[in-house]
């Protein structure tokens, strides 16, 4: 399924500063969409943390974080959905269409593309495991690629945000990295590309010269223990792991603030951190 009508599929996870700087956003989207001119099908998956934060602040809804996870109440979820689907998704679709391509805005809810399950967060407290309710925060339970494939076959660019319903129709916000990794795997994409704000995974996060250009999945746990994979890089590497374990040929973390790195993906130049089995 990684090739539709002899075209390869590339799934991009888009976010970070490349999304909040308007000039950069245009360059990034232009370079991503240009890959469709080179016989590739493109799927863009996005979150929108800064936009969610602003929407909740404007609505005077306080954000509560538990171990780095945003607790999402029913009241907060309505604003999360407005920010992701109404603002961010709509803006990306308009920009891409203005460039002369044909984008379609979706969330995981559309066509039941992604079915969610409620995430139960656990943590150790005094030797006992405690379950914490994060509200409407979910995990990916299953993916149905029918709608996405249908759109790709018609040469549309699906732009998908990380919201999904469970089997009872309850809405959930899902970590965008994880959402993207699962979708790339289900599509059996040829490449899964995560855009972030640095050149890839760095041995020393403060030294850009310590880029790890290749990473074997077998070594990720060792790098986690050493603290090399830390903070926001944890879900990014985990999403690549999900994608590869589900059949994606190559996963890569590149710098979305350097749009030229996107075009290098097809030039077989060493770009970012490539993760493989």
**pLDDT (tens digit, 9 = 90+) per residue, 213-250?**
999 888 888 898 888 888 888 899 999 999 999 999 99
Task: Measure the CA–CA gap between 96 and 178, rounded to whole angstroms.
Answer: 24
**pLDDT class of 78 with cuts at 50, 70, 90:** very high
Residue 2: pLDDT above 80? no
Tokens standing for 127? 């030797």
Which of 25-29, 84-88, 142-146, 195-199 shows the lowest mean pLDDT across its residues? 195-199
Cα separations in angstroms, 161 against 45, 77, 204, 228, 249: 6, 14, 32, 29, 23
Residue 103: pLDDT above 70? yes
Note whether 105 and 90 are within 8 A (CB): yes
**What is the average pLDDT score of the chain?**
92
Domain of 153?
3-276
Could you give the residue ranges of the DSSP H alpha helices within the chain?
17-20, 22-34, 49-58, 74-81, 90-98, 146-153, 176-186, 220-226, 233-245, 260-264
CB atoms under 10 Å from CB of 102, counted, come to 14
What's the whole-number mean pLDDT along residues 91-96? 97
**pLDDT class of 126 with cuts at 50, 70, 90:** confident
If one compares 68 and 128, the residue with the highest pLDDT of the two is 128
**116-130, 181-195, 225-239 — most confident range:** 181-195
**pLDDT class of 31 with cuts at 50, 70, 90:** very high
CB atoms under 10 Å from CB of 137, counted, come to 22
What pairing do the DSSP bridges indicate for beta strands 250-255 and 273-276? antiparallel
Residue 73: pLDDT above 90? yes
**pLDDT class of 3 with cuts at 50, 70, 90:** low
Closest CA to 271 of 161, 203, 193, 206: 193
Task: Measure the CA–CA gap between 114 and 144, rounded to whole angstroms.
Answer: 6
Number of folded domains that form the chain: 1
Residue 82: pLDDT above 90? yes
Angle at 189 between CA 104 and CA 172, to 5 degrees: 55
If one compares 164 and 271, the residue with the highest pLDDT of the two is 164
| Secondary element (H or E) of residue 71 | strand 69-71
If one compares 4 and 65, the residue with the highest pLDDT of the two is 65
**pLDDT class of 1 with cuts at 50, 70, 90:** low
Residue 266: pLDDT above 90? no
Note whether 42 and 36 are within 8 A (CB): yes
pLDDT at 69: 79
Read off the CATH number of the domain in which 49 is found. Answer: 3.40.1160.10
**pLDDT class of 18 with cuts at 50, 70, 90:** confident
What's the predicted TM-score (pTM) here?
0.94
Angle at 174 between CA 264 and CA 18, to 5 degrees: 35
pLDDT at 181: 98
């Amino acid at each position: 399924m990684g090739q539709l009508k002899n075209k390869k599929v590339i799934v991009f996870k888009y976010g970070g500063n490349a999304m909040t700087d308007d000039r950069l956003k245009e360059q990034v989207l232009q370079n991503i969409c240009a890959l469709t001119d080179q016989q590739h099908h493109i799927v863009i998956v996005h979150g929108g943390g800064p936009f969610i934060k602003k929407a909740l602040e404007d609505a005077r809804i306080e954000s509560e974080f538990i171990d780095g996870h945003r607790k999402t109440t029913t009241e907060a979820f309505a604003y999360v959905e407005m920010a992701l689907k109404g603002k961010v998704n709509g803006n990306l679709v308009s920009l891409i269409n203005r460039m002369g391509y044909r984008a379609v805005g979706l969330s995981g809810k559309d066509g039941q593309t992604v079915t969610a399950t409620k995430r139960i967060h656990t943590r150790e407290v005094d030797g006992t495991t405690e379950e914490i309710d994060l509200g409407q925060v979910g995990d990916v339970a299953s993916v149905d690629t029918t709608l996405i494939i249908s759109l790709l076959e018609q040469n549309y660019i699906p732009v998908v945000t990380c919201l999904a319903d469970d089997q009872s129709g309850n809405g959930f916000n899902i970590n965008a990295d994880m959402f993207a990794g699962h979708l790339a795997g289900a599509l059996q994409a040829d490449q899964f590309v995560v855009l972030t704000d640095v050149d890839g995974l760095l041995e020393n996060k403060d030294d850009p010269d310590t880029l790890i250009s290749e990473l074997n999945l077998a070594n990720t746990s060792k790098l986690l223990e050493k603290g090399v994979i830390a903070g926001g890089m944890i879900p990014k590497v985990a999403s690549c792991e999900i994608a590869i374990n589900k059949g994606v040929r190559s996963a890569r973390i590149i710098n979305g603030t350097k749009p030229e790195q996107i075009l290098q993906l097809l030039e077989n130049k060493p770009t970012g951190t490539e993760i493989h089995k």
